[in-house]
A and B are shown apart, each in its own frame.
Chain A
Amino acid sequence: MLPDLEPEALVVLLERMIVARRFEEELIELAGDRDIGHFHVYIGQESTGIPALSLLEQGDLSFTNHRNHGHLIARGAEPGPMYAEILGRATGYCRGKGGTLHLASAEHGFPTTSSVTSGCIPLAVGAGMGLQRLGSDRVSVCLVGDGALEEGAWHESANIAAMERLPVVFLCENNSLEALGQRAGEYPSSTMAASDLTELASVFGIESVAIDGLDTRAAHQTMTEAVHRARSGGGPTFIEARTVRWPGNRPIWPELATGKTDLSMAWDASLIRPEHAIWHREQDGLLGFVRELLDSGCVTSDAALGLDKRATERVREGLAFALDSPYPEPEEALEHVFAPRGD
């Protein structure tokens, strides 16, 4: 179902979802032409992250992981400096020091990005502690996958967040639902003995909820409630979004297994070919969101195509900007080890 938002706001969400999708598609295509190293794409999780993170406000802090591209776009980061960072250019958000693994933009609420599984959890909890002790009403959002809950850092940090009633929202995008264990009817993740990830939070007394990652309304609604709880001193919340792993994400190196997304499939089922039909009909959150917007009358198919054209142009311009950007001077490797010292 659609989030409880004005039509204009829904259109903004749609545009960000399309930008996030096209961003990754262009990147995968680029990786076919040149070696840009390993990277992780957000395709398949847009219907969770875009509605959830778009509602954060200036000053709210977010700590993400290796699969971060969509998160930054959700909070308004620009494709140009993102691509530039991923390509190691001087114009990247981190001046080429971080790359895709550490893509961070402080001005968009991403002070640092840890690509060590669970690395961001203590940081996000600590940021919540800092905000609480500073008397701020800003919140800290911790973005993890299901794998991070396998690490000890989760358990230590969840305990701290719960005991101190910290203004932290844990958004766990579980994309292991199709992992082997689950397929055998066992676990929600391939290497976790717990049968329900929310229990890993509720055991600490943390308010916990599981949502369908394809349900934009649920993502928006639960995140709204969680952020309100955090802002008003009600403590942390754990949201598990059960997302579908995009077929292109199954191999170690992402590939456009389902082709470049054709938004027309949302209203013209005849375009859907048998191969990956389930993805296009039921599991692609972007196509699903477009269908709901069409049904509600918020957008027309022409308007959706217009948004797509604009988003695609924006992404391509960003990529061109990055490719035209210079690499940093080699000596810049020596800068930023330390913040400036007074002595």
Chain B
Amino acid sequence: MPRMLYAEAVVEVLRRSVEGDDRVHLMGQYFLGLTPHRTMVGDLYRQYPDRVYFPPIAELGYVGAGIGAAIAGLRPIVDCATASFTFQAFAQILNEAANIHYMSGGQTSVPMVIHYNHGVRGGGAAQHSHSPQAMMWNTPGLEIITPSNPADLIGLVLTAVASDNPTIWVDHVRLFDIEGEVPENIEPIPFGRASIPREGTDLTIFASSWMVRRSLEAAELLASEGISVEVVDPRTLVPLDEEAILRSVAKTGRLLVVDECHLRCGVGSEIAATVAEHAYGDLLAPIRRLATLDVPVPFSPPLEQYVEPTTAKILAAARSVTGVQSGA
């Protein structure tokens, strides 16, 4: 099975989408951020100049234009680059795109994809390090995908592009260097189906996007300490595969949620609440939430690492939930 970098998979799925449907147009030019991989998308832009729109620095205007274009019959994939920039466009994403199908009584659909790179990327400081997916989840009407590996990325984006709903494509620049197997004839991945990238019996770790990688890394280390961790990757937050999470917790009896949103009202809080509500009887220990601390993300490296969910913090939290003292 061929392997590819996550960044290559981003370009691959954009290419497949453009080539697979004349209505797919790309709006924006920073799908790969300012990372060294950014030039990889250049060939696609040069090959399909009529299918690419390079907008002015006007997120409200051009994301809104993507919504309008979708209403008129295109299936735009709109890039907001850094997640924090979506705040400029919130009025259009949250108040227009999310509401249009509903408030028109089903008359009008908004088949578009909105891409952003979220989270702590290293030195982004307070205004370039947000993870706004929880805010978006709190707005009914948006589908949200959170891929964590190249194959899932391609499969989920293919489904997002085919969807008649506005879909938020949550990416993370730290994922771009991940390498993974991608089947030759990869199929669209249906929304609302979690994956279990690692099975275990002592503890369920729920994590999405980049946090899946850190959780898998922690799980490997914990195995050597005799703690068997199951990692649940929802792959899509909306719709959410609640069953898969509850099934895993029923098996392990313990839940740690690892989330790059801020702690209060984050994605992890919602998962913790869902499990507490529906699977309280399965729990052998209190649920534990590990998330970005409730402060703006600071610039200085030691400060930044202090507030983000690191692998070391996952290890400590896992030991705490399972009642195992530090394996050192």
CA distance A136 to B71 in the complex (A): 14
Decide if B58 touches A111 in the complex (CB within 8 Å). no
Binds A, one of B92-100, B127-135, B200-208: B92-100
Contacting residues, chain A, for B105 (C-beta < 8 A): 92-98, 336
Contacting residues, chain A, for B100 (C-beta < 8 A): 111-112
Decide if B71 touches A339 in the complex (CB within 8 Å). no
Contacting residues, chain A, for B70 (C-beta < 8 A): 126, 130
Check if B162 is an interface residue, CB within 8 A of chain A: yes
Contacting residues, chain B, for A125 (C-beta < 8 A): 61, 64-65, 68
Given contacts A122-B67, A127-B69, 16 further A-B contacts (CB under 8 A): A93-B107, A96-B105, A106-B104, A112-B100, A122-B60, A122-B64, A123-B65, A123-B96, A130-B71, A152-B60, A156-B58, A160-B65, A336-B102, A338-B165, A339-B163, A342-B163
Given A112-B100, A338-B165; A130-B58 close (CB under 8 Å): no
Check if A38 is an interface residue, CB within 8 A of chain B: no
Q: List 20 A-B contacts (CB under 8 A).
A: A97-B102, A98-B104, A111-B108, A116-B91, A119-B91, A123-B65, A123-B96, A126-B65, A129-B74, A133-B50, A134-B73, A140-B68, A153-B60, A156-B58, A335-B106, A336-B105, A337-B102, A339-B163, A341-B239, A343-B192
- Most chain A CB inside 10 Å of its own CB: which residue of B53, B61, B63, B140: B61
Residues of chain B from 138 to 197 with CB closer than 8 A to chain A in the complex: 140-141, 143, 159, 162-165, 190-192
Q: Which 8 A-B pairs have the closest CB atoms?
A: A122-B64, A126-B68, A156-B61, A130-B72, A126-B65, A130-B69, A343-B190, A94-B105
Decide if B61 touches A133 in the complex (CB within 8 Å). no
> What count of chain A residues pass the 8 Å CB interface test?
50
CA distance A93 to B103 in the complex (A): 10
Decide if B61 touches A112 in the complex (CB within 8 Å). no
Residues of chain A from 160 to 209 with CB closer than 8 A to chain B in the complex: 160, 163-164
- Interchain CB contact (< 8 A) of B61 among A95, A159, A337: A159
Decide if A153 touches B165 in the complex (CB within 8 Å). no
Check if B109 is an interface residue, CB within 8 A of chain A: yes
- Interchain CB contact (< 8 A) of A153 among B64, B71, B239: B64
Check if A61 is an interface residue, CB within 8 A of chain B: yes
Contacting residues, chain B, for A92 (C-beta < 8 A): 105
| B72, closest chain A residue (CB) | A130
Given A94-B107, A123-B96, A338-B101; A157-B65 close (CB under 8 Å): yes
CA distance A122 to B100 in the complex (A): 14
Check if B234 is an interface residue, CB within 8 A of chain A: no
Contacting residues, chain A, for B58 (C-beta < 8 A): 156-157, 159-160
Given A126-B68, A133-B69; A340-B164 close (CB under 8 Å): yes
Decide if A341 touches B25 in the complex (CB within 8 Å). no
Check if A104 is an interface residue, CB within 8 A of chain B: yes
Distance from A113 Cβ to chain B, minimum over Cβ atoms (Å): 8
| A333, closest chain B residue (CB) | B102
Residues of chain B from 75 to 115 with CB closer than 8 A to chain A in the complex: 76, 91-92, 95-96, 100-109, 111
Decide if A341 touches B103 in the complex (CB within 8 Å). no
CA distance A106 to B105 in the complex (A): 10
Contacting residues, chain B, for A97 (C-beta < 8 A): 102-105
Decide if A123 touches B108 in the complex (CB within 8 Å). no
Given A119-B96, A134-B72; A338-B103 close (CB under 8 Å): no
Check if B56 is an interface residue, CB within 8 A of chain A: yes
Given A124-B68, A129-B65, A134-B74; A112-B60 close (CB under 8 Å): no
Check if B66 is an interface residue, CB within 8 A of chain A: yes
Distance from A80 Cβ to chain B, minimum over Cβ atoms (Å): 15
- Interchain CB contact (< 8 A) of B108 among A104, A335, A338: A104
Contacting residues, chain B, for A64 (C-beta < 8 A): none
